[in-house]
Structure 1
Amino acid sequence: MKMEELQERTQEELLHIVDELYQEQFNLKFQMATRQLTDTSRLRQVRRDIARAKT
């Protein structure tokens, strides 16, 4: 997610996005633990998207 996209969002939308990203991060970690995750770089990308949305 690009910074320009996040700057156009309202505070409520950002909170919703962060919640969705945390849920996705949880699912990715679960998939990694059960050896079902094929794209491990997605974990890093989601973590950074969360940081961008919180800033």
Structure 2
Amino acid sequence: MKNAEIQALSLEALKEQIKTEQASGQALRFAHAISPLENPVRLKHSRRTVARLKTELTRRENEQANQTAK
């Protein structure tokens, strides 16, 4: 998922996408523990996508906090 796609998501969609990506990442880790994945780089991409989503969520929360403080 690209940063532009992440920024286009609504707040609720962002939270839902985080849950979805975390669940799929966990499933990938379990599958990799049982038998090696065909493409283990997917684990890294999954972690990075979750990090991007959480970063955007934090950025939006900080924007809201700054706007209410003014």
The bucket for the TM-score relative to the shorter chain is over 0.9
What is the RMSD of the two structures over their aligned residues, measured on CA atoms? 0.8
Is 1:9 equivalent to 2:14 in the alignment?
no
Residue aligning to 1:47: 47
Q: Distance in 2 between matches of 1:33 and 1:9?
A: 32
Structure 1 residue 37: Cα displacement? 1.6
For 2:34, the aligned partner's letter is T
SS at match of 1:15: helix
Residue aligning to 2:35: 35
What percent identity do the matched residue pairs reach? 33
**Which runs of 5 or more residues in structure 2 are unaligned?**
56-70
The TM-score normalised by the length of structure 2 is 0.75
Structure 1 residue 36: Cα displacement? 4.6
Structure 1 residue 19: Cα displacement? 0.4
Runs of 4+ in 1 over 3 A off after TM superposition: none
SS at match of 1:53: helix
The TM-score normalised by the length of structure 1 is 0.94
Greater helix fraction, Structure 1 or Structure 2: 2
SS at match of 1:4: helix
